[in-house]
Amino acid sequence: MPFRFLPDVALADIAFEAESDSVNGLFETCALAIEDIMVDPETLRNTSERTLSVESESLDRLLYDFMTELIVIKDVDSLLFGKVRADVSKDGTSLRAVLAGEPIDRERHRLRNDVKAVTMHLFGIKHEGGYWKTTVVLDI
Amino acid sequence: MPANPAIKQVSEVCWEVPTSYKPGMNVPARIYANKKLLDNMDSGVIEQATNVACLPGIVRYSYAMADAHWGYGFPIGGVAAFDPEKGVISPGGVGFDVNCGMRLIRTNLHYSEVKPRIKELVDLIFNLVPAGVGVKGSQNFAQSQMGDITALGVRWCAENDLAWEDDPEHVEEGGFIKGADISKVSRQAITRGVSQFGTLGSGNHYLEIQVVDPARHFDRELAREFGIVHDDQVMVMIHCGSRGFGHQVCTDYLRTFESGMRKFEIVVRDRDLACLPFSSKEGQDYYSAMVCAANFAFVNRQIIVNKVREAFSRVFHRDAEALDMHLIYDVCHNVAKVETHTYGGKTSKVLVHRKGATRSFGPGHPDVPAPYRKVGQPVIIGGSMETGSYLLIGTQKAMEETFGSTAHGSGRTMSRTAAKRDFRGAELQKKMLDRGIYVKAATMDGLAEEAGLAYKDISEVVETMDRAGISKKVVALRPVGNIKG
């Protein structure tokens, strides 16, 4: 479930591309990429569990809304996650995710960038050669 | 960007891309840059400025300022004015961080007094003004107060003992933009924002202790109008915006606009240029929500100023009043506002989008606060944390040429990922300390991303705007202490 940062996209922000051989894997990879931008996962203990349900009108929108939810949870509940399990419905319009992480601890966590929004720039899910792929540009 | 034969030189520092450049351009694009800045400008700026020129109802020109670089839809450093009846409003023309802006406070302290205590001062401010990932502010408000706060901005602060009496008049629009309606803001945005007042955020946001640079004190008479009366006078500059509240407003309305464009059959060259008629219900709803976010940002910066005043008072054992810690000014650089301008021989209202651009109203304008009206509006241009910043002043020429607008900062030339690859935060921190700048950062990664070499040379930007005459240099401010979000 790899993701890689794109240094030549969006000078003021951070972009990454992700791919997986499954839709669930793509969602999980994108979630972990966002968390990785905010905190070094090596410093995070996955002691608290949280479930999340999201509904949307399309698979693209579902991923967008799922990532936005992670940003909202970071701001409202100060929670960061190191483990994600996503279960996307067959029609691609809803998901249930189980997230494991912990509240932000400024002493122990190696914090990185504060992600503030998911942009629509270059965004969209492609299914090519058996892989689900996406490019995500985050507003920092 | 290689020389582009389509670009015509208007003056030494102004270039025009004619409507023949691409089909659908309603107006030409104008780029303010010297030859060096133009040659080094990323090619996205021309494409984006000319895409903006295609939007319905745009008037006169699509502008890119000297600090312009690629942004979502509109370039950062972009200015575009629209006919309020026939034109559009675009969240991409405002930016995610609604009313990201700059605030400048003076003190009557000399650097010689502050230098021995700079570490103590910066460390205390760092503790009082939360910065970094997911921080919450120390000022607790109830969700039920959000309507009043976002309607009245710094005026609300003054009425609730959170601002000095003269603070609101030293903020653009007198401390709040009219037209806010909290019912147009989502529950999610309110929940994100309510605990974030008084927080700096991260990215390129900072709080800086600065000193008037005697070698670049360009206009002492004008500086005196702002209470800058001696060389090595200590100032405080704050750069931040509307935090999660503004970002959520933008996120929410991008969705509304994307579906609305189908309804209004608007076709744009780039998905990030999503726009709707300003006169439509959706356009008006976004405007009302965006104004709430802009006023949120004014309050956010106000709460930070209160903490800065507290810190100075504690460290120097004098009241903030005795330290003359008055606000010089607070400017928005990500906003859309209805303003009255004269162009093409007529005076009318236009909806001016400034995205990474600063209002630069000249002398005598009624929207310039009374204390500054005879000289013009202060313009605050923030540089990278290594290079310093500038105080300029608005001009009549800006009123005539650019809908009273100028640049906002230095503009990035290197991505965050590349900067993190090329620089090390701890090394940069030490290098800056050797140069007399004490830096406290929420994260070392974030510090590396803000290295001076990741930005354009701010002096080139400021010189260009000064030479163009759309803002005039007053004084340069060099950093001596920096808090990086």
Show the domains of chain B with their CATH numbers: 8-413+455-484 (3.90.1860.10)
> Could you state, in order of their start, the residue ranges of all structural domains in chain A?
3-139
SS3 A140: coil
Interatomic CA distance for residues B202 and B134, integer angstroms: 10
The DSSP symbol for A42 reads: G
* Residue type present at position B171: V
**Contact in structure between B274 and B73 (CB atoms under 8 Å):** yes
B chain contacts of residue A110, beta-carbon cutoff 8 Å: 443
Closest alpha carbon within chain B to A61: B255
**Contact in structure between B380 and B210 (CB atoms under 8 Å):** no
CB contact under 8 A, B133 and A121: no
Scanning the structure block, which residue is given the tokens 């640049």? B407
Output the pLDDT for position B445. Answer: 80
In sequence order, what are the residues at sequence separation of 6 or more whose Cβ sits closer than 8 angstroms to the Cβ of residue B371? B169, B170, B225
**Contact in structure between B432 and B206 (CB atoms under 8 Å):** no
CB contact under 8 A, A111 and B413: no
* Cα–Cα nearest to B405, from B454, B469, B470: B470
| pLDDT of A64 strictly over 90 | yes
Interatomic CA distance for residues B167 and B174, integer angstroms: 9
CA distances from B376 to B31, B213, B340, B476 (A): 24, 22, 16, 18
Closest alpha carbon within chain A to B258: A120
Structure token digits, residue A127:
């299914």
Output the pLDDT for position B1. Answer: 55
Q: How many CB atoms lie within 10 A of CB A128?
A: 8
Interatomic CA distance for residues B348 and A48, integer angstroms: 57
Output the pLDDT for position B3. Answer: 61
**Contact in structure between B307 and B137 (CB atoms under 8 Å):** no
Closest alpha carbon within chain A to B91: A119
Q: Which of A81-90, A108-117, A120-129, B32-41 has the highest mean pLDDT?
A: A81-90
Picking from A7, A74, A121, the nearest residue to B417 by CB comes out as: A7
SS3 B326: coil
Residue B337: enclosing H or E segment and its boundaries?
A: strand B334-343
B chain contacts of residue A106, beta-carbon cutoff 8 Å: 132
The predicted model scores a pTM of 0.96
A3-139, CATH topology level: Archease, Possible Chaperone; Chain: A; domain 1 (3.55.10)
Picking from A7, A104, A116, the nearest residue to B247 by CB comes out as: A116
Output the pLDDT for position A82. Answer: 97
CA A117 to chain centroid: 11
Provide the CB-side half-sphere exposure for A9 (13 A, CA).
16
**Contact in structure between A92 and A23 (CB atoms under 8 Å):** yes
B chain contacts of residue A8, beta-carbon cutoff 8 Å: 415, 418
Interatomic CA distance for residues A38 and A75, integer angstroms: 12
Query: How far apart are the two ends of chain B, measured CA to CA in Å?
Result: 31
CB neighbour class for B10 (10 Å; exposed up to 12, middle 13-18, buried from 19): middle
B138 touches chain A (CB under 8 A): no
**Contact in structure between B476 and B389 (CB atoms under 8 Å):** yes
A chain contacts of residue B132, beta-carbon cutoff 8 Å: 106, 111, 114
pLDDT along chain B (485 residues), means of 10: 78 97 97 94 92 97 95 95 98 96 98 98 97 89 97 98 98 98 97 96 92 94 96 96 96 93 91 95 98 98 98 98 98 98 96 98 96 97 88 98 95 81 88 93 84 85 97 97 92
Q: Tell me whether strands B438-441 and B471-484 are parallel, antiparallel or unpaired.
A: parallel
Structure token digits, residue B435:
């140069």
* Residue type present at position B485: G
Comparing A74 with B444, which gets the higher pLDDT? A74
Cα four-point dihedral sign B214, B216, B221, B222: negative
Picking from B133, B196, B251, the nearest residue to A104 by CB comes out as: B133
For B294-322, b where at least 16 C-beta lie within 10 A, e where not — what string? bbbbbbbbbbbbbbbbebbbebbeeebee
The DSSP symbol for B329 reads: E
The C-alpha angle with vertex B461 and arms to A119 and B422, in degrees rounded to 5, equals 60
The C-alpha angle with vertex B403 and arms to B371 and B7, in degrees rounded to 5, equals 140
Q: Could you please report the per-residue DSSP string of B393-415?
A: EE-HHHHHHSSSEE--B--BSS-
